Copies of this chain bind each other. A is one copy, B any other.
Amino acid sequence: MACLLIRDVRNNEGVRFDMLVEDGRIARAAAVIDADDGWLVEDGAGALALPGFVEGHTHLDKTHWGMRWYRNAVAPSLPDRIENERRWRATSGHDAGAQSLALARAFLAAGTTRLRTHVDIDTDAGLRHLHGVLATRDTLRERMEMQIVAFPQSGVLKRPGTDTLLADALRAGADLLGGIDPCAIDGDAVQALDLLFGLAERHGVGLDIHLHERSTMGAYSLDLILQRTAALGMQGKVAISHAFCLGDIDVGARDALLARMSELRVAVVTTAPASVAVPSVAACRAAGVTVIGGNDGIRDTWTPYGSPDMLERAMLIGMRNDFRRDDDLEIALDCVTHSAARGCGFANYGLLRGNRADLVLVDAQTPAHAVVARPVRKLVVSAGRIVARNGALV
């Protein structure tokens, strides 16, 4: 791969510099780098350089992105939504392969170069959705690093055979094991979590568990998860998605849980929804818990909202946490950049020499300005390749 010289970009402190990319990695950054013959040269024109964004929680396989508008008339309970989706996926001709590719490409065009997606594994569809998303990952493998979570949307206990399918999914290429509400969905938190942790241990994979359970029920499940994380020595391999209970239990109980999570290096993944209690980003960080940002589903049967623009997600995380100061907005941005990469385990991340050359150029005066203005992505570079210009893939 040829050398790529990106001239005249700005860092967070407003210092202008040139960056040399070689073999997909950042080879040098300096005030001025003279171009050699045969190098590709891009003029950044003073744009702000941000690291490629990280989407820490989405569901590429569910989206109807780019399809005819899905008219949502679904009843509001979780079981209603799960059954509605199952019905729709079975009858609509929805194709997880084509749809996940369409949305992943939109993510890439908006500057996301690393992404974790949960893929439904269930006894109706088997591994069909997974095969679609695996094909998308393969198609984009040189431009996007993708982690796939084998996700039992309907729980692990109520539909016999789900555990075997999850094992099959991990053998087929899923990187992590998912889970969901062991009390509210599975009805037996101990049995469900024993099954999940047993599977994860046998396959040597990490866990990322959806925990929508509120208040004390959620805290009970979270305690069981932390017990098993410690018992199995899975420090640094477990993430809790949503963790709404951390937003509505007593602060004392919350801080005790956060202290244990910090010690076990259990991350929180937040989509910062505006309509439910959420974990406080500040409280998590103060306790030493890594916070990862994500969209959750994007335009699917669950929700009409969501966007492949991770600057928008950073803005929503900021709004939800009442972050108004510039330093706080930089924390919101961190949730979809450095912290997300660290929490998910994406390696060689960030605009430092030797790291994978993933960067995004935007016309913004500061990182905080980028978060609130969400300007068009002038240039997106992934693993050293120019993948998008002015918001469109090249």
Residues of A participating in the B interface, judged by any CB pair closer than 8 Å:
68-69, 71-74, 76, 272-276, 299, 302-305, 315-316, 318-322, 324-327, 329, 365-366, 368-369, 371-372
Residues of B within 8 A of A324 (CB): 72, 74, 76, 302-305
Chain B residue contacts of A274, Cβ below 8 A: 272, 274, 316, 319-320
Is B368 within 8 A of A69, CB to CB?
Answer: yes
Residues of B with C-beta under 8 A to A368 = 69, 71-72, 304
Complex formed: what's the CA distance from A36 to B325 in Å? 57
Q: Using known A-B contacts A319-B274, A322-B275, A365-B68, determine if residue A73 contacts B327 with beta carbons closer than 8 Å.
A: yes
Query: For residue A368, which residue of chain B has the nearest CB?
Result: B304
> Contacts of A325 on B, CB cut-off 8 Å?
72-74
Give Cα A366 to B70, complex, Å: 10
On chain B, the residues within 8 Å of A273 by CB distance are 319, 322
What is the distance, in angstroms, from A373's C-beta to the closest C-beta of chain B? 9
Contact assessment for B319 and A275 in the assembled complex, using a CB-CB cutoff below 8 Å = yes
In the complex, what's the smallest C-beta–C-beta distance from A300 to chain B, in angstroms?
Answer: 10
Residues of B within 8 A of A69 (CB): 365-366, 368-369
* A69-B369, A274-B320 known, 14 other contacts, Cβ within 8 Å: A72-B325, A72-B368, A73-B327, A76-B322, A272-B274, A273-B319, A274-B319, A275-B319, A275-B320, A302-B324, A304-B324, A304-B368, A304-B372, A316-B319
Docked Cα-Cα span, A299 to B76, in Å, equals 35
Distance (Å) between the CB of A113 and the closest chain B CB?
24
By a CB distance below 8 angstroms, the chain B residues around A319 are 273-275, 305, 316
Q: Could you list 15 examples of A-B contacts with CB < 8 Å? A: A68-B365, A69-B365, A69-B368, A71-B366, A71-B368, A72-B324, A72-B326, A73-B326, A272-B274, A274-B316, A274-B319, A304-B324, A304-B329, A304-B368, A304-B371
How far apart are A72's CB and chain B's nearest CB, in angstroms?
5
* Min C-beta distance of A9 to chain B, whole Å: 17
Q: Report B-chain residues with C-beta under 8 Å of the C-beta of A321.
A: 275
Residue among A274, A320, A371 facing the most chain B CB atoms (10 A cut-off) = A274
Q: Which of B72, B303, B315, B326 interacts with A71 by CB under 8 Å?
A: B326
Residues in B with CB closer than 8 Å to A327 are: 73
Could you tell me the distance between the alpha carbons of A273 and B303 in the complex, rounded to whole angstroms?
19
> Taking the nearest CB of chain B, how far is it from the CB of A82, in angstroms?
14
Cβ contact within 8 Å between B372 and A299: yes
A369 to B304 Cα, complex, angstroms? 8
A76 to B325, CA, bound (A): 9
Smallest Cβ distance from A238 to chain B, in angstroms? 27
What CA separation (Å) do A74 and B303 show in the bound complex? Answer: 35
A305 and B299 contact, CB distance less than 8 A? no
